Structure 1
Amino acid sequence: MEIKFERATIDDTEILINIRNQCFYADFINYGECPGYNISKEDMANSILSRIAYKITFNNHVIGNISITDNQDGTYYLGCLCVIPDYENKGIGQKAIRFIESEFPNASLWTLQTPADKERNHYFYKKMGYSIVKECVGGSVKLVIFEKKVNR
């Protein structure tokens, strides 16, 4: 399985919206809201231009998305890491985490948030060295904040 991580460009706007819609439809149905679902073209284009965005490809087909915010102080926020359901449980998420961590060796801290009841996400992020540091509410969804401190 050849997985690649490539910087997304404005030309990837529509395909990344489609990818996120596949990834986050179940969350939208479950919670009645999901910031990753049904993003407008303008918002996705702005995300690609203002953040560090990657597309995840398998045999030249886009199957996932990564979006990172560089806080300009050695800390990074992982805003999105998603793989379409047909490609889940194949180690792609682990490769994605290792990729981004190797791409930003100056990082001292990674943060992310995920719904508090998404146990599969919790298991995955804990396996990758992240720890829950607090809970909060986003809209009507209870969230947990994960952190991973990097000692360099």
Structure 2
Amino acid sequence: MLKVRQISSDFADIVHNIQKKSFEPLLNKYHDYDINPAMESVEQIREKIDRANTTAYIFELNDIYVGWVRVTELEDITYKISALCVLPGYQNRGIAQEALKQIESYHSNAQKWTLDTIFQEKGNCHLYEKLGYVKVGELEQINERMVIVKYMKICKA
């Protein structure tokens, strides 16, 4: 069973390792050196976890840390999902889907959820759309290989 639990910046070293391993294949594919989370240092991750209105969660499967995500509360009871990642060896097992469902339940007051992902990564887009997220806004061209798409999910009152 997947456990999704809140963590503090004391976990920065652990999540840095997860994030680096999870995002390096995308970095190698898209060469998005300025924005790819694999390029973040432990200190940058620690600072992001410690930001006001931010909650970090680690995903644990059979006593192994397999992923993590940051959730930031914005204005108007809107939450932004950032740096959602699952280790490559654990991808395509429904972990991200289950983790997002649990996290959304922890923030049952949410009126809206937002996130960005890579438009070319059809598996990511499918995951978010399956969970009720819809594409919004303009696509953002990062480089000749990669475009960012924004998603939003409106919650029932």
* TM-score clears 0.5: yes
Looking at structure 2, the residues matched to 44 and 142 of structure 1 have their Cα atoms a distance apart, in angstroms, of 24
Looking at structure 2, the residues matched to 115 and 94 of structure 1 have their Cα atoms a distance apart, in angstroms, of 17
1:109-120 aligned at under 5 Å gives the runs: 109-120=112-123
CA contact (8 A) 1:83 1:93 kept: yes
Is 1:81 matched with 2:81? no
Looking at structure 1, the residues matched to 25 and 138 of structure 2 have their Cα atoms a distance apart, in angstroms, of 22
Tell me by how many angstroms 1:45 deviates: 0.6
1:95-134 aligned at under 5 Å gives the runs: 95-134=98-137
- 1:9 matched residue in structure 2: 8
Is 1:148 matched with 2:153? yes
1:23-68, Cα deviation, whole Å (9 max, x unpaired): 1011111111243113112111111111210111112221101111
1:48 partner SS: helix
| CA RMSD, 1 decimal | 1.4
- 2:96 matched residue in structure 1: 93
> Which one of 44, 59, 64 corresponds to residue 62 of structure 2?
59
Tell me by how many angstroms 1:12 deviates: 0.9
Q: Which runs of 5+ in 1 are unaligned?
A: none
TM-score norm. by structure 1 comes to: 0.92
Tell me by how many angstroms 1:98 deviates: 0.8
Count of matched residue positions in the alignment of Structure 1 and Structure 2 = 151
Looking at structure 2, the residues matched to 40 and 10 of structure 1 have their Cα atoms a distance apart, in angstroms, of 13
CA contact (8 A) 1:6 1:56 kept: yes
- 1:26 matched residue in structure 2: 25
Tell me by how many angstroms 1:134 deviates: 2.2
Counterpart residue identity of residue 95, structure 1: E
- 1:35 matched residue in structure 2: 36
After superposing on structure 2, the runs of 4+ consecutive aligned residues of structure 1 that deviate more than 6 Å are: none
Tell me by how many angstroms 1:11 deviates: 2.0
TM-score norm. by structure 2 comes to: 0.90
CA contact (8 A) 1:135 1:142 kept: no
Counterpart residue identity of residue 89, structure 2: D
Percent of paired sites with the same residue: 30
Q: Which runs of 5+ in 2 are unaligned?
A: none
